[in-house]
């Protein structure tokens, strides 16, 4: 039994879509999705999960994102991890404006997405009031698996060109909500102290 290949009718008599039969635009979209550099904007407890995603156990470098850039001029994805206060909102917008085009935003966690449990005057009730959000990662805090799923969803949207097209038409991001992936059901090791 052989492998089933995805054969698309692209006007080439059933040849599969590859680097030889592809377009320059498709190659650019593919390379953008595979070499994105995130600008970390960790503000609260979600930042710990974002750091765990970049660590050795989850290894974010498998997706070409091993380096969190400290300079916004070297980044094209902003991961807003945690609650955004009213005082931090202008700083967040300034960092977003300094990022190079095309750029994308992930709202990580319920606090970044909607203000979370902090329904008061000091917290921005959704980071989409400040910057256009492309993908929302749910959870309080989201697990590293959820962030990886969110990043893969964003990569697929970048490859499809959907975000750039929608942002040109409406001025906002993709506003895509992903479902949370539960943490792995592996038991934690028990450390016994010597007697």
* Domain edges within the chain: 30-177
106 pLDDT more than 80: yes
Other C-beta atoms lying within 10 Å of the C-beta of residue 36? 19
Alpha-carbon distance 53 to 47, whole Å?
10
Residue with tokens 């592809």: 22
Stretch 57-61: mean pLDDT: 80
- How remote is the C-alpha of 124 from its chain's centroid? 20
Alpha-carbon distance 61 to 65, whole Å?
5
Summary mean pLDDT of the chain: 77
Q: Is CATH 3.30.1360.170 the classification given to domain 30-177?
A: no
| N residues, the chain | 195
Q: For residue 183, what pLDDT is reported? A: 64
C-alpha to C-alpha distances, 38 to 11, 17, 33, nearest whole angstrom: 37, 29, 12
Stretch 68-79: mean pLDDT: 86
Phi/psi for 163 (5° steps) reads -65, -45
Dig out the tokens for 129 from the structure: 């009031």
7/148: higher pLDDT: 148
pTM above 0.75, yes or no: no
What is the three-class DSSP state of 39?
Answer: strand
Residue with tokens 């005082």: 87
Q: For residue 107, what pLDDT is reported? A: 92
Cis peptide before 130 (omega within 30 of 0): no
Q: Across the beta sheet with 104-108, what order do the strands follow?
A: 38-42, 77-81, 104-108, 135-137, 176-177
The 10s digit of each residue's pLDDT in 161-195 is 765 566 666 666 656 666 666 666 555 454 454 54
Distant-in-sequence, close-in-space partners of 98: CB < 8 Å, separation ≥ 6: 72, 73
């Amino acid at each position: 039994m052989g492998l089933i290949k995805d054969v698309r009718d692209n006007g080439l008599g059933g040849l599969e879509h590859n680097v030889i039969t592809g377009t320059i635009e498709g190659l650019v979209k593919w390379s953008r999705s595979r070499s994105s550099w995130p600008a970390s904007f960790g503000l609260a407890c979600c930042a710990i999960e974002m750091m765990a995603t970049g660590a050795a156990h989850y290894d974010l470098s498998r997706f070409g994102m091993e380096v969190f850039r400290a300079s916004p001029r070297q980044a094209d994805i902003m991961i807003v991890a945690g609650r955004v206060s009213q005082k931090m909102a202008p700083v967040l917008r300034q960092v977003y404006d300094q990022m190079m085009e095309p750029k994308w935003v992930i709202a990580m966690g319920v606090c970044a997405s909607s203000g979370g449990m902090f329904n008061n005057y000091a917290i921005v009730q959704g980071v989409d009031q400040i910057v256009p959000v492309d993908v929302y990662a749910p959870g309080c805090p989201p697990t590293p698996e959820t962030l990886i799923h969110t990043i893969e969803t964003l990569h697929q949207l970048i490859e499809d060109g959907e975000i750039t097209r929608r942002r040109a038409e409406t001025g906002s991001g993709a506003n895509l909500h992903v479902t949370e992936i539960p943490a792995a059901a592996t038991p934690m090791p028990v450390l016994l102290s010597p007697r």
